[in-house]
Amino acid sequence: MVYGGHGGFQGLISMKLVTQGLNMYNMSVNPPLNISKEMFNENNQFIDIDHSFKKISPQVKMVSEEFISLFSSEKGEN
């Protein structure tokens, strides 16, 4: 996960270089999680998380499938 508003993409590229240098696996899909104060109520709870992240739900599904595939192959299930 890379934090940042302006320049978040450059941060993502930099983090990928670091993780590659450490021989860590990089996910093929990286959904952008844009979070704002308006998404939360006075108790700091999401008002409607499904609505807030609806635009990136296909990417989140792809990340989930990639995790399942990685863990399945690690356990020898593939």
Per-residue pLDDT tens digits for 37-59 = 999 999 999 999 999 999 999 99
Domain residue ranges in the chain? 5-74
pTM score > 0.75 for this model?
no
Is the pLDDT at 6 greater than 90, yes or no? no
Cβ-contact 29, 62 below 8 angstroms: yes
Is the pLDDT at 5 greater than 70, yes or no? no
Residues in Cβ contact with 26 at an 8 Å cutoff, skipping those fewer than 6 apart: 16, 19, 20
pLDDT value, residue 33 = 82
pLDDT value, residue 77 = 64
